[in-house]
Amino acid sequence: MNQTSASAAIGPLDIKRVMAALPHRYPMLLVDRVESLDPDKGIVAIKAVTINEPFFQGHFPARPIMPGVLIVEALAQAAGVLAVEAFGLAGSGKLVYFMAIEGAKFHDRRSARELNFSGSAAPPHRPRDLPFGS
């Protein structure tokens, strides 16, 4: 982690700052804002889920539920914001990649409302310079 962000909490971050951290764009951008971010502890991020989301048209029209795979993607994007901010990579053109998730369980259905996801995370690993991707 860089010296300036080692223990400093950051936030809130608006959509412009989220978009600077992530390459995703609508309809795959699943983080609308970040309430708080501490590189050593974790992140609290928000996705405003409305009935107008395209996935609700088919999952399931009579009882719209946000697909679990999209909830996992939203969590991965929040982790991406955490890593980018922790290492000062915003605007650098470098990407972070979601590599694995262990023990994911869903305890509540998510319908049209705000998806508030938070998590504590081990401090992200230092990015490696790989011969591919930048």
| Cis before 64 (ω within 30) | no
CA–CA separation, 99 and 45 (whole Å): 20
Residues facing 42 on adjacent strands? 38, 120
Residue 59 bears catalytic tag: yes
Give me the catalytic one of 24, 59, 107, 125. 59
CB 80 within 8 A of CB 21: yes
CA–CA separation, 47 and 2 (whole Å): 28
State the catalytic residues. 59
